[in-house]
Structure 1
Amino acid sequence: MADGYGGKASGQAHHVRDGVMTLTLANDRIRLTIVPEYGARVTELWDRSTGRQWLIPGDLSPDTGADAIYGAAEACGWDECFPTVAPCEHPSWGKLRDHGLLWGKAWEVVEAAVDRIETQYVSPAFRFVRKLSLQDATLTADYAVTNRAAVPFAYLWSQHCLLSTTLEDKIVLSGLDEMIANSAPFDWPHHHARDLSLIGTACDGFALKSYAMTPTVASAEIVNPDGGIRFCWDGIPAFGLWLSYGGWPTHDPVHQVALEPATAAADHLAAAEAIGQAKTVESHVTHRWSVRVTLTGPNRRTDN
């Protein structure tokens, strides 16, 4: 089945669309489109065997300033949230904007090869690096953050892939501790409002952010009879699940799901620090972690 680009060639290529350079990374199973100038956002993630585009589509918002709100127009594709998700004030950073410092900002291309693309954002205080590499049906995202300053700083990171889902999909989680939403624990997937493993409709008027700690190898996936997508990680301590079935925002609400490996079970850095989960990186030290994203085959059987 075609993947929206009309071809099966593997490799990496540069394109310019509406004056913005994009990079593509592809093999026989996966095709990605990346916009280095806009936070190295991954705007497309195609399963070339099914023709499914997994990421929520959208335009590049022109509002990326210090007071920018990450609203419905911005909530698309795959961004990196660092050093916070929700806006907050913190002694290490001062005022932090919604979804952090990285989205919408110009990143540098470090390497663009046939099987990998490495990009980075560099400021006087830190360097944030993400290397994407392909092998068969798996995309590996390797991350590194380096403190370039003379004093330590605290941070929270969350992988923010906004997924396009259907009623045939099911959410399956593994390796997680008890889930918590709005400070109330519950046993996955049995939230008091609904069975969270089942995808809702755009008319449900439902939105929820929930968290769990991930003490060992963990995974979160969308299962579908035709093939799904699985996020797997080890050594990343937390996980966030964002669901909006027409429940956010109030004006022009959206339908989306995000499976979010994260360094803390909190929405903003100050809250992560309050519960002892903020990461601290010392001067001239680098922290590293990785997430594997695998496109799974049809009729995969698994339990919640």
Structure 2
Amino acid sequence: MMTLTLANDRMSLTLVPEYGARITGLRDRLTGRQWLIPGDLSTDTGSDAIYGADQARGWDECFPTVAPCKHPSWGILRDHGVLWGTAWDVVEASVDCIDTQYVSPDFRFVRRLSLHDATLTADYAVTNRAAAPLAYLWSQHCLLAVTPEDRIALCGCDNLTADELPYDWPDYPRRDLSRIGTASDGFALKSYAMTPAVASAEIVNPDGGIRFCWDGIPAFGLWQSFGGWPADDPVHQVALEPATAAADHLVAAEAIGQAKTVEPRATHRWSVRVTLTAPNRRTQN
């Protein structure tokens, strides 16, 4: 499969248009750190594919759901949505940006990646090409390779909830969620928060970190697996996930009034900035 590269003196990334425009590498060229979970591209990408350990690599876009569900308009939606592992078109590829899109009879999903210094901006647009309103949920799904020296820091997030249990960050029962666990912990948790204004989530490390910033995206998901998922081949990873709803799937998002609806011939737009932070920043305890 063809691979595209976007790079400057500070950051480099690679993506595969034919595989959901997955970003397979995001490297800090100052420190050499590879931030995304590496791995081969799974060939199991059919309509009933499960997003398991073999698929949980790199940076995908979850749309119009994260967890699988049956929706009145969409029908049966597979795990992590319709976009990952599918062929996207390259609209533009230059030294400054990579613009890719997925087009179906019902919608067009566009992501433009542009690089400036230590910041990668991901600009998104979804256009309804159908005759009826289109409901959706979106979540940015960057699976990060983390170490015990890293810490997670959140800003602009309301109180978090996991498994219907509200908690004050980072104090989950019997665990400080800002700290990275080990691969032998057997721990996995998905948390959600609302982000009513400017928000950020980052991995902090004195040797350099990574920060996700957004404004106008209403929710945030935090995925942590420290050897706790899946049962047969557990992984060690973290995902900091700006999202349009604090829900695992589209039906649940509709049930709590958080699903987005784009009208016929209309377009919704949003963006996320991903910044590599410099070494020697103070680690948050």
TM over 0.5: yes
- The question of 1:164 aligning with 2:145 is answered yes
Of 249, 256, 277, which aligns to 2:258? 277
Task: Output the amino acid matched with 1:192.
Answer: P
Structure 1 residue aligned with 2:85:
104
Match of 2:201 among 220, 224, 228: 220
What is the distance in 2 between the residues matched to 1:69 and 1:292? Answer: 29
User: Residue 66 of structure 2 corresponds to which residue in structure 1?
Assistant: 85
Q: Judge conservation of contact 1:172–1:302 (CA < 8 Å) in 2.
A: no
1:50 is matched with 31
Check conservation: 2:189, 2:224, Cα contact below 8 A: yes
Matched residue SS, 1:271: helix
Residue 68 to residue 74, structure 1, CA distance change in 2 (3 Å): same
Q: Which residue of 2 aligns with 1:190?
A: 171
> Alignment partner for residue 53 of structure 2, among 56, 67, 72?
72
Structure 2 matches for 1:126-205, cutoff 5 A?
126-205=107-186
Aligned match of 2:223? 242
Q: Which amino acid aligns with 2:102?
A: Y
How far residue 91 of structure 1 moved from its aligned partner, in angstroms, is 1.2
2:119 counterpart letter in structure 1: T
Establish whether residue 293 from structure 1 lines up as the match of residue 274 from structure 2. Answer: yes
RMSD over equivalenced CA pairs, Å = 0.9
Deviations 1:10-54 (A, max 9, x none): xxxxxxxxxx10000000000000000000000000000000000
Runs of 4+ aligned residues of structure 1 deviating over 4 Å after TM superposition are none
Q: How far has the Cα of 1:206 moved from its partner?
A: 0.2
Partner of 1:124: 105
- 1:36 — aligned with what? 17
C-alpha distance in structure 2 between counterparts of 1:80 and 1:87, whole Å: 14
Contact 2:204 2:284 in 1 (8 A): no
In 2, Cα distance between the equivalents of 1:302 and 1:21?
39
Q: Tell me which amino acid in the other structure corresponds to 1:299.
A: N
Query: Structure 2 counterpart of 1:105, which letter?
Result: T
- Shift of residue 252 of structure 1? 1.2
Confirm or deny: 8 A CA contact 1:140 1:290 kept in the other structure.
yes
Tell whether 2:72 aligns with 1:95: no
In 1, the alpha carbon distance for the partners of 2:213 and 2:240 equals 10
| Cross-structure match for 1:6 | none
CA distance in 2, matches of 1:204, 1:218: 29
Once the two structures are TM-superposed, the CA of residue 302 in structure 1 deviates from its matched residue by 7.0
Q: What TM-score does the superposition give when structure 1 sets the normalisation length?
A: 0.93
Give the corresponding residue for 1:260.
241
SS in 2 for 1:272: helix
**Which residue of the partner structure matches residue 4 of structure 1?**
none
Amino acid of the residue matched to residue 277 of structure 1? Q
Instruction: Please report how far the alpha carbon of residue 303 of structure 1 lies from its aligned counterpart in structure 2 after TM superposition.
Output: 5.5
CA deviations on 1:175-211 (whole Å, 9 max, x unpaired) are 0101000011000000003000000000000000000
Query: Does 2:95 align with 1:114?
Result: yes
SS at the partner of 2:252? helix
Instruction: Quote the sequence identity (%).
Output: 80
Amino acid at match of 1:200: G
Distance 1:90 1:193 in 2: 37
Unpaired runs of at least 5, structure 1: 1-19
Q: Contact 2:205–2:283 (CA<8 Å) still a contact in 1? A: no
1:226/1:298 contact within 8 Å kept = yes
Distance change >3 Å, CA 169–CA 302, structure 1 → 2: closer
SS at structure 2 position matched to 1:53: coil
Which whole-Å CA distance do the structure 1 matches of 2:174 and 2:58 have between them? 27
In the alignment, the residues of structure 2 paired with residue 62 and residue 114 of structure 1 have an alpha-carbon distance, to the nearest angstrom, of 30
Count matched residues.
285
